[in-house]
Amino acid sequence: MSMPRTLRSVPDLVEAGLLPPEAVRSDIARVGERYAVALTPAVAAMIDREDPRDPIALQFVPDAAELLVRAEERIDPIGDLAHSPVEGIVHRYPDRVLLKAVHVCPVYCRFCFRREMVGPSGLGTLTPEQLDAAIAYIAARPDIWEVILTGGDPLVLSARRLRDIMERLAAIGHVKVVRFHTRVPVVEPDHIDSELVGALKASGKTTYVALHANHPRELTPQARAACARLVDAGIAMISQTVLLKGVNDDADVLAALMRAFVENRIRPYYLHHPDLAPGTSHFRLGLAEGKALVAQLRGRISGLCQPTYILDIPGGHGKVSVLSDAVRESDDGCFRIRDFRGGEHLYPSGSDAPATGSP
């Protein structure tokens, strides 16, 4: 038998039985040409093929609904580009920066907030010169306490390259914490081997790994074992989840997911309201619906299991806690949002804004 491989196109998904044969001549094929597709063998194995609304399939198998772009959606929903002083760095808050060393992921999520930037035709990997300039930017700014590697998924890099980046960050005295945002422990658990785990640690620095997972079924025995290898090595883990219609917009599902994190020594961190990325409106709830759902978690599960419900304010104004008084519903159903600098922004009410057609 041949080794299972990553499925990277609509024809691959048809061959694997995850899409019907007609898909190659339908709008789904157009979606597959427009946005990156990838399902690792671990992800394909999680999908229940008998369930037409399988919550894993919904996250990764392209859907014709992605061709519908709504007026409020944006190419760069959280304003990365406006806050990028040098290639690969996003510097929005004084004490922390994003370092986007790579714009490739092991899987491509249909709701991805950076879907215009990641993928085989995206921005690729930083060149050695760009990486030097990004690290020099961090080294020159003593206010930068934390470096957050994201992208893309930084754990697609080899252990050797990760070790090189860690060693260079470790040489910067004012950087105390390095955080990696990743889906790899779930979607490619065997990749988390002892060499890679070792590469994520540097003496005198604290490493955090933020695991992106959206449904309790993603925490397979293999994924749990991969997380245990990280935590046993002294790496702290936190979670991030995107609130997604049809996938996890249910208090029981969210409760089971948050409990699964805690059982695996992963402290729930953020529950993200989905961003206004192009062609993702079929995943988006209204803020009022999200608030009602998250309120149900309070009494139901331990304080250890409570994530913070977060909205990244469109346009790059930073994150805000949806349940705080910085987010207020007005009479017209829109939301008025105050950013951390005191600026006011409007957020659309629900999913009734007009569509503008295909990309």
Q: Which tokens go with 320?
A: 């805000």
* Catalytic residue list contains 109: yes
- Minimum distance, C-beta of residue 243 to ligand PLP, in the bound complex (Å): 16
The interface region with ligand PLP, picked from 37-45, 53-61, 85-93, 155-163 by CB under 6 A, is 85-93
Contact 185, 210 (CB under 8 A): no
The option from ligand PLP, ligand SF4, none interacting with 118 (CB < 5 to 8 A, set by class) reads ligand SF4
Please, is 140 exposed, middle or buried when counting C-beta atoms within 10 Å of its C-beta (0-12, 13-18, 19+)?
A: exposed
Interacting residue with ligand PLP among 10, 42, 90, 293 (CB under 6 A): 90
Q: What is the DSSP string of 263-281?
A: HTTEEEEEEEPPP--TT-G
Interacting residue with ligand SF4 among 70, 92, 100, 114 (CB under 6 A): 114
Length of the chain: 359
SS3 148: strand
Contact 138, 91 (CB under 8 A): no
Residue whose token pair is 């252990």: 159
* Catalytic residue list contains 143: no
- Minimum distance, C-beta of residue 183 to ligand SF4, in the bound complex (Å): 5
Contact 255, 297 (CB under 8 A): yes
Q: How far apart are CA 202 and CA 273, in angstroms?
A: 33
The residue among 108 and 335 lying less far from ligand SF4, judged by its C-beta, is 108
Q: Is 114 in the site for ligand PLP (CB under 6 A)?
A: no
Q: Which of residues 159-188 bind ligand SF4 (CB under 6 A)?
A: 183
The interface region with ligand PLP, picked from 92-100, 131-139, 249-257, 333-341 by CB under 6 A, is 92-100
Q: How far apart are CA 327 and CA 106, in angstroms?
A: 34
User: Which amino acid is present at 344?
Assistant: E
Binding residues for [4Fe-4S] cluster: 105, 109, 112
Catalytically annotated residue among 54, 76, 153, 312:
312
Catalytically annotated residue among 100, 114, 168, 245:
114
Catalytically annotated residue among 70, 100, 105, 108:
105
The option from ligand PLP, ligand SF4, none interacting with 153 (CB < 5 to 8 A, set by class) reads ligand SF4
Q: How far apart are CA 330 and CA 325, in angstroms?
A: 13
Q: How far apart are CA 133 and CA 105, in angstroms?
A: 23
The interface region with ligand PLP, picked from 50-58, 86-94, 133-141, 329-337 by CB under 6 A, is 86-94
- Minimum distance, C-beta of residue 222 to ligand SF4, in the bound complex (Å): 18
Q: How far apart are CA 237 and CA 92, in angstroms?
A: 23
List residues near ligand PLP by CB under 6 A: 78, 90, 92-93, 96, 98, 148, 319
Which residues form the catalytic set?
92-93, 96, 105, 109, 112, 114, 275, 312, 319
